Amino acid sequence: MTRTSEKPPLSLHWELQALLAAGVLLLSTGLGIWVYKNLDYIDRLAIVGALALISLVGFALCFRSQTRFSLAKVFSKGIGYDYLLLLACLTFVTLIGYLQYQYSLFGPNARLATFVPLLVLFGAAYYFDHLGVLSLAITNLAAFLGIVVTPLDVFKDNDFNSVPLIYTGVLLAIGLWLVGKGSEVKRFKSHFAFTYRQFAIHIGCIAALAGMMHYDGSTGIMFIWLLLLAVMSYVIYREAMQRGSFYLMLLMGLYSYIGVAIFGTVSLDAVTSAGMLELLLLYYLISAVGLGYFMVIKNKQLKRSHGTTV
């Protein structure tokens, strides 16, 4: 008598996660669009009341379900809990923005409309131990400083010709990196370090590249910004080797390659002969292949030393 093999149950965990995340984002986006399009048709207090009610109920339910605060990682109460908190935070941000737009809640100092939400978001991220809310908090911190860090708008809405914005980006990146390092050293929500590190890398490297492009008229100053990018790349490289992270290694390689390519292109900008142009294109082709080969070698090295790469 032969046994019939039973298939293991099919897990829908990630599918449900994706659906809930899409649902929360669509709901919060829909609320924002609804508020914007119906400013003249719906009582303003009704809009404020609806947004405040959704946010308060969400926070209240999360507080009711949350255990006591812990410096270590607190495991989630479930995907419903996670996205209820995310909805409450997004609705709160929408509420503050509407109050500032409609009633000038903070007067002429509109930046407070981003400062107050970032305090609430950081508090909620640490109290409820939520990485998604932490990302929202860092995004609001960058917005408070005048930097757009959302992936779709980072190159469109930032003024890379603004010297103060470029330096602000570098300082913000250093600050986020140090906070991430400090959280690991002090073991204060040490699992938050990856999120801080990721924002720091992207903001810092993009700011360094922006500095290079801003000073493209001076090769000497451009080289200083290239050195800054090289220092950042070295720090990222050390971190990647220490953690066995191919993701960090890939970021280091891409940003370094872009920086060297920009510097080489600007340095040879005065060369207009067709032969030199073809040589430059050949360099890009060979260097791209070299970068790919370097990534393959490093990936194998990381696997040998750490077993797996992330």
What are the DSSP calls for 129-162, one per residue? T-HHHHHHHHHHHHHHTT---STTTTTTSS-TT-
Close Cβ partners of 134 (under 8 Å, ≥ 6 residues apart): 121, 122, 125, 126, 192, 195
Place of tokens 């993009």: 206
Distance between CA atoms of residues 198 and 138, nearest Å:
11
**19 or 239, which is more confident?**
239
Return mean pLDDT, the chain.
81
Domain ranges of the chain: 19-137, 145-214, 219-310
Higher pLDDT, 201 or 66: 201
Confidence at residue 30, expressed as pLDDT on a 0 to 100 scale: 73
Residue 1: per-residue pLDDT: 46
Using the structure block, give the residue that is written with the tokens 């906070």.
Answer: 179
Look up residue 256 and give its two tokens. Answer: 């370094």
Report the pLDDT averaged over residues 197-224.
Answer: 90
Closest of 4, 25, 144 to residue 91, by C-alpha? 25
Mean pLDDT of 223-247: 93
Report the distance separating Cα 106 and Cα 123, nearest Å.
Answer: 21
Q: Are 102 and 39 spatial neighbours (Cβ–Cβ below 8 Å)?
A: yes
In angstroms, rounded to a whole number, what is the distance separating the alpha carbons of residues 210 and 257?
14
Specify the pLDDT at position 69: 78
CA proximity to 120, closest of 102, 105, 104, 136:
136
CA distance 277 to 133: 48
User: Which residues have CB under 8 Å from 127's CB, separation 6+?
Assistant: 66, 69
Two structure tokens written together for 62:
């999360």
Summarize the confidence of residues 181-206 as an average pLDDT: 93
- Statement: residue 239 has pLDDT above 90: yes
Encoded tokens for 268: 């040879």
DSSP assignment letter at 222:
H
Structure tokens belonging to residue 39: 């400013």
Whether residue 15 has pLDDT greater than 60: no
- Lowest-confidence pick of 5-19, 145-159, 214-228: 5-19
What is the per-residue pLDDT for 20? 58
Residue with tokens 């900008």: 269
Residue 258 has pLDDT above 50, yes or no: yes
Assessment of whether the complete model's pTM goes beyond 0.95? no
What are the distances in angstroms from CA 57 to CA 167, 206, 249?
40, 39, 43
Element (H, E) at 262: helix 246-267
Ranges of beta strands (E only) in the chain are none
Weakest mean pLDDT among 7-11, 119-123, 141-145: 7-11
Tokens of 118: 């970032």
- Distance between CA 89 and CA 3 in Å, rounded? 52
Side-chain-side CA neighbours of residue 286 (13 Å): 6
Range scoring the smallest mean pLDDT among 2-11, 79-88, 96-105: 2-11
Note the pLDDT tens digit of each residue in 25-63. 666 677 667 666 766 666 777 878 888 998 999 999 888
Q: What is the pLDDT of residues 151-174, one digit of tens each?
A: 555 555 666 678 888 999 999 999
> How many beta carbons lie within 10 A of that of residue 302, not counting itself?
21
Task: Inform me whether the pLDDT recorded for 92 exceeds 60.
Answer: yes
Q: Strand, helix or coil at 172?
A: helix
Q: Residue 164 and residue 142: Cα distance in Å, rounded?
A: 14
Given a cut of 70, whether residue 8 has pLDDT beyond it is no
Distances, alpha carbon 170 to alpha carbons 210, 215, 254, in Å: 10, 16, 18
Share of the chain above pLDDT 90, in %: 33
79: pLDDT strictly greater than 80: no
Residue entry with tokens 């490297």 = 205
